[in-house]
Amino acid sequence: MEKVPAAPMPSFPEDLDGLERFVLACQACSLSETRNQVVFGEGRGTSGLMFVGEGPGADEDRTGRPFVGRAGELLTKMIQAMGLSREEVYIANTVKCRPPGNRVPSPEERKACFPFLEAQIRLLKPKYMILLGQTAAQVVLRQSAGITRIRGTCCELPEYPGIKIMPTYHPAYLLRNPSAKRDVWSDLQTVMGWMGLSRSGEKEGK
Ligand code: URA
């Protein structure tokens, strides 16, 4: 039987600023009809750490910045507890436009937006990724397991060679279930161990 050639990878600009301009004009799914702003992602990522959340909420849709609402405040505290600043990490989402009513992004929306997240990962070349919540874990790890089962388990995937990946709970979940903060702190400490960060934020051995 004749082999069907693989679909060509969409070609995107080969730098983050160019990619952002490209994504700002995206109309690949119906979220583009209801969004106020595209939330591309932000941070310099100089620490080598990238966070992936689910998708923008109302505050993010209004400002064009990821994780600026209540869940974002908690994420900022988590980053600071690791001894890092928001500037030093990179923060992105599985979808770049707000799903109306903050619903979970549909399979079609995730699929339409995934090439942008993949391009962000390829261009940033993070060494570590923290996946915040079930949607991010399902999209990035391409599996359907519940976050409760897989959180805290380090993964490395052939698609992302050299990147250590940690799935954990989403900060919005922690706002509803503060007792889960203990698990998340344990996951963050594992990542800090990978990064050679002590609890004071110093690089160990300094
Ligand atoms: N929740 C997310 O998953 N991402 C955001 O940017 C904000 C809230």
Calculate how far, in angstroms, residue 157's C-alpha sits from the geometric centre of ligand 1: 24
**Whole-prediction pTM:** 0.93
Q: Give the amino acid at 139.
A: V
Calculate how far, in angstroms, residue 56's C-alpha sits from the geometric centre of ligand 1: 5
Tell me what pLDDT residue 198 has. 84
Averages of pLDDT over each 10 residues, the chain, 206 residues: 54 93 98 98 98 98 98 98 98 98 98 98 98 98 96 94 97 98 98 90 58
In the chain, the domains with their CATH numbers are 16-192 (3.40.470.10)
Tell me what pLDDT residue 8 has. 53
Alpha carbons 92 and 56: distance in angstroms, whole number: 9
* Ligand 1 atom nearest to 53, measured from its CA: 3
Lining ligand 1 with CB less than 6 A are: 39, 53-57, 60, 66-67, 71-72, 93, 172
* Ligand 1 atom nearest to 65, measured from its CA: 6
Calculate how far, in angstroms, residue 143's C-alpha sits from the geometric centre of ligand 1: 20
Calculate how far, in angstroms, residue 73's C-alpha sits from the geometric centre of ligand 1: 11
* Ligand 1 atom nearest to 59, measured from its CA: 7
Calculate how far, in angstroms, residue 204's C-alpha sits from the geometric centre of ligand 1: 31
Alpha carbons 24 and 18: distance in angstroms, whole number: 10
Ligand 1 site-directed mutation target among 60, 68, 104, 169, most atoms within 8 Å of CB: 60
Tell me what pLDDT residue 1 has. 45
Tell me what pLDDT residue 38 has. 98
